Chain A
Amino acid sequence: MATTTATRHSRRTSKTLLEPTGKELETYEAPKLVIPVDPGRDHIQGDPKAILTLVEYGDYQCPFCGAAYPEVKKVQKELGSKLRFVFRNFPLTNVHEFAQVAAETAEAANVQGKFWEMHDFLYEHQRTLGDNSVALGYAKKIGLDTQKFEREISQHVYQKRIKEDFMGGVRSGVNGTPTFYANGVRHDGPAEAEAIIESLRAKS
């Protein structure tokens, strides 16, 4: 909405006062993903060589990420084998007290080959994030070595990796969560399937 206002005032440029000139938009260029997708490190869902790439920087406790979770599923369903989806951690620990532990939980499941199962479980059970026994129960259910799983979480084994994800995100212009990159360019539209698909197709 605000943007539309800016465009409407575009001809009333004043030399001394700052009014929206519309120029900000003409020269606007969305930030680019500066950390390329690395199949050796990244969590990738779908064909690693797919022609379209959607990268999400997400926080498991963020309600907006929770709302975007089914939207990503819709995008994946719609684009099928043409899409690879990459998830990177961006826990906003100053506003979300359980986000860091949740990210470490998913990483601990990852080493045992169950990243996406845990990723999905965490988003589907966002309200239970303060209670670690919920994820532990699920870990047991999907056959993880729960001793190793618990130990790695309590020893913060994946803290460094999560921090690296975070700083890579900051350098790529992540400005909140969730932030999506459609084929390497920040998607500034709504975190909704239709808009994300449009961005992916436009920038392919």
Chain B
Amino acid sequence: MKTISLQRNRRKRISQTRAQRVGGKSARRNPSILNLGRKAPNFSLNSTPDQKVSLKDFRGQPVILAFYPADWSPVCTDQLSLYAMVMPEFKKFNAELIAISVDNIWSHLAFAKDRKLNFPVLADFEPKGEVSRKYGAFKEKIGESARALFVIDGEGIVRWSHLSPDGVNPGAEGILTALDQLAKPNA
């Protein structure tokens, strides 16, 4: 079912150059998620029952924001396990990764431990989805965050964003390309 629909849509896709997709001059305009060049809204969410993480804590370094639908997706390796493996590469750019979903903090703690996640996983739990909404990354009908990625520069400006189709794990390639461009803006 999924494959058929994906392929059908792929055939009618609008041809789009790679430069556009990764946020070149004529950056991709997504109809819904926060666009490039916009100030990333600050937030402060719990990473543990008594600790909060704020976006502004990371001013001066690139931040990767990964909104995702839910903890415990029933696959061998999900998007976040992959990011835990790629973390040393993100660190080469001095980048921090922050993952956000609407699951509560206890679920996050168990999930992060199980998948050996080495970055903060924040609970957009109360009011539910408030931060996801600010980034245009909340699906009202389903009540979950979308699978949306943002790369924010040291000044707090969104430099790259990507919304994945449902059921497609975006991997890390787009993030790394965006970080490359941040590091070498004229390359």
Contacts and interface: CB of A to CB of B under 8 A. Distances in A.
B139 A20 contact: yes
List the 5 closest A-B pairs by CB distance, nearest first.
Answer: A189-B3, A175-B171, A2-B166, A25-B9, A175-B169
Contacts of B141: 9, 19
B170 interface: yes
A7 B7 CA distance: 12
Q: What DSSP secondary structure best describes chain A's contact surface? A: loop
Nearest to B78: A176
Interface string A85-117: 000000011110000000000000000000000
A7 B9 CA distance: 9
A65 B77 CA distance: 12
A19 B174 CA distance: 22
Contact of B85 (A2, A13, A92, A189): A92
Interface in A171-195: 171-177, 188-190, 195
Contacts of A24: 163-166
A126 interface: no
A95 B81 contact: yes
Contacts of A130: none
B36 interface: no
Interface residues of B, number: 52
A19 B139 contact: yes
Contacts of B171: 31, 170, 173-175
Given A21-B32, A29-B21, A172 B173 contact: yes
A7 B77 CA distance: 26
A118 interface: no
A69 B170 CA distance: 24
Interface in A22-73: 22-31, 62-64
Interface stretch (B11-19, B51-59, B97-105): B11-19
B1 interface: yes
Contacts, number: 143
B167 interface: yes
Contacts of B77: 62, 92, 95, 176-177
A162 interface: no
Contact of B176 (A27, A166, A170, A176): A170
Given A18-B137, A20-B166, A26 B3 contact: no
Q: Interface range on chain A: under 10, 10 to 19, 20 to 34, or 35 or more?
A: 35 or more
B183 interface: no
A5 B79 CA distance: 21
Given A170-B89, A175-B171, A3 B2 contact: yes
B173 A173 contact: yes
B65 to A, nearest CB: 15
Contact of A64 (B13, B76, B136): B76
Given A92-B77, A170-B82, 14 more contacts: A3-B1, A18-B32, A24-B163, A24-B165, A25-B9, A26-B13, A28-B10, A30-B10, A92-B76, A175-B169, A175-B171, A176-B169, A188-B168, A189-B2
A170 B174 CA distance: 10
A62 B122 CA distance: 28
A23 B54 CA distance: 31
Contact of B13 (A27, A92, A94, A190): A27
B115 interface: yes
B170 to A, nearest CB: 7
Contacts of B84: 94
B166 A3 contact: yes
A109 B84 CA distance: 29
